[in-house]
Structures are given as C-alpha cells and as structure tokens.
Amino acid sequence: MCDYSLEMYASRPARESEKYVTTRFPSGSIGLAVAGDCTTAVCVQYDTKLTLEGLSGDLQSRLGVNAQEDVIFARLEHGAYRDGVKFGNGKEISLQLLGTGVTVSLIPAVVEEEPVSEPSIKAKTPVLEEII
C-alpha cells in the first residue's frame, strides 16, 4: 500500500499504464511517485507484480539479481518500513534499500478467460442407399 511514513502526503493508486520512480520524499522516506513529483505518493497493493529497472550494481551483487527484475510488491514483517519487494530468488528488501531512481511499472494482470463451449449440433447426415 503506502508505507506509514508517507501518510502525510497526498496519495493515489498506481495505474497500469504509468511508470514510477523510487523517490525520496521531503520526510526522508523513499516511496513511489511519478517522476519529478515528490508531493504525491503512488500506492501499490500488496502481491502486485512489478518490473524494476535500473537496479544499482551494488544491489545486483548483494542480491544476485539483474539490472531489470520482475518482483512482487510485498508487506515486510521486519524493520521500521513495511513496503518492500520480493525477487524471484526469494530475497526481500524494503523500498528504502532500493534507493532512488529505480523505475517501477506494474505488470498487467492476465485475465484467463474460460473457454466458451459451443452447443453441440448434430448435423443430419443423409443416408445414401444403393438402388439395385
């Protein structure tokens, strides 16, 4: 959602069509915002799939990840900050440790449609008889 440390700011939900950047707000906390806007926090629901781009070389080395990674937005159970991300390799970190300038975008949810069953139509097959 939006970490408690960002509650003093205006906020709004994330949208699939936008890109966000990890931003240091005037309070000192890092959260998601539209690039250049540190007045409105963008809130993401837990368990949302995200793509991170521009992870620092230091983070890549420490976490064993690439500069671009798909992650899941997670509620952390430890530490002062609860908003974090979980990488495919199982490692979790707070948004605070991502640092500033990481680009974040939502991965569109895939809606699986149930197959539509067509009514079975039995066509009448003409019977051909031989006339002798």
pLDDT of residue 83: 92
pLDDT of residue 91: 97
- What is the Cα Rg of the chain in Å? 24
pLDDT of residue 113: 66
Residues 6+ apart with CB under 8 A from 79: 94
pLDDT of residue 37: 84
Full-model pTM: 0.79
pLDDT of residue 78: 86
Edge-to-edge strand list for the sheet holding 49-53: 30-33, 19-24, 103-106, 49-53, 68-75, 83-87, 92-94
pLDDT of residue 72: 97
Per-residue pLDDT of the chain (132 residues; tens, 9 = 90+): 576 667 778 889 999 889 999 999 988 999 999 998 888 999 999 999 999 999 999 999 999 999 999 999 999 998 888 999 999 999 999 999 999 999 999 998 776 666 665 555 555 555 555 555
pLDDT of residue 117: 58
